[in-house]
Structure 1
Amino acid sequence: MFGADKGTADRLDGRKLHIGIVQARFNENITNALAAACRAELLRLGVQEQHIRHVLVPGALEVPLALQAMAERGGYDALIALGCIIRGETYHFELVANESGAGVTRIGLDYQIPIANAILTTENLEQAIARQSEKGVDAARVAVEMANLQEELS
């Protein structure tokens, strides 16, 4: 433990934060719902609208590249990855899920920036719909909490 630990409520103050969101368009109905829930929660946590940069990419495999560009540019306290990968009948699901997840993790570690990974990986559309709002909110909360923790630890 690093001395007196701030409570979760203190770490959920987004008033001073700049957040980048990368949203995959593939499975757009799901990713739009993820993004809407995420943005609403960021605003509820105090992140100013003008401090949220939201970009769209074709699919989950393109998310890490956009995250990397944002991390290299700087100016963000945390990033958020939004996408939806639904299992199909081929190996493509595993490829996209594994590679996008590994890419998101690598960018966060390489650039030492918190990234909330809300790229859903589900068996079917029903599972994705059931998770879209909750995971969007979760992503916003993780980004804000981890940005504040990162600041606290530096």
Structure 2
Amino acid sequence: MFGADKGTADRLDGKELVIGIVQARFNQGVTNVLAKACWDTLLAHGVEEKHIDHVQVPGALEVPVALQAMAEKGGYDALIALGCIIRGETYHFELVANESAAGVTRVSLDYQLPIANAILTTEDMDQAIARQEEKGVDAARVAIEMANLLERLG
């Protein structure tokens, strides 16, 4: 490996971190599994339960505004977006998927705050179920690693 990059254990050390989670309720069977996997992973990597702020919003389009409110409030080392958008028969899927992703990215860049985007976009419920746990775990790991990276770079 090039440079003086920290080892995996250091990158995934959640001690001292404060993490905010915004979970969409739409397709809640999937988003609840995402949230549980995310929580379990945050705790396993040392994030204290009292340092996890978890809110719910109606759907994926509402996730960015809640993330923005958390970013404006301050005090978070990273945020996590959880949701599930399943393709239907209309253009609505593309609209919701594209706009929610753009909003999450904009908040992250505007506030220089890492946001792990685990808003699933799938063709059907089977694909969502197949990804729900893994993406919840991934989101927690990404949030911790990026929070530590930005701290190091800051």
TM range (shorter): over 0.9
One-letter identity of the residue aligned with 2:94: E
1:108 Cα deviation after fit:
0.2
One-letter identity of the residue aligned with 1:99: E
| C-alpha distance in 1 between matches for 2:5 and 2:141 | 18
| C-alpha distance in 2 between matches for 1:11 and 1:5 | 9
Structure 2 gap segments, 5+ residues each: none
Tell me which residue corresponds to 1:111.
111
The runs of 4+ residues in structure 1 deviating greater than 4 Å are none
1:3 Cα deviation after fit:
5.2
TM normalised by structure 2 equals 0.98
| C-alpha distance in 1 between matches for 2:124 and 2:23 | 20
Tell me which residue corresponds to 1:56.
56
Q: How many residues align?
A: 154
Over the residues paired in the alignment, what is the CA RMSD in angstroms? 1.2
Structure 1 gap segments, 5+ residues each: none
Tell me, what secondary structure is at the counterpart of 2:34? helix
Tell me which residue corresponds to 1:133.
133
| C-alpha distance in 2 between matches for 1:124 and 1:4 | 43
1:9 Cα deviation after fit:
1.8
Offset from partner CA, 1:40-73 (integer Å, 9 cap, x none)? 0000000000000000000000000000000000
Tell me, what secondary structure is at the counterpart of 1:117? strand
| C-alpha distance in 2 between matches for 1:59 and 1:118 | 13
Offset from partner CA, 1:5-28 (integer Å, 9 cap, x none)? 212221100011000000000000
One-letter identity of the residue aligned with 1:5: D
Tell me which residue corresponds to 1:80.
80
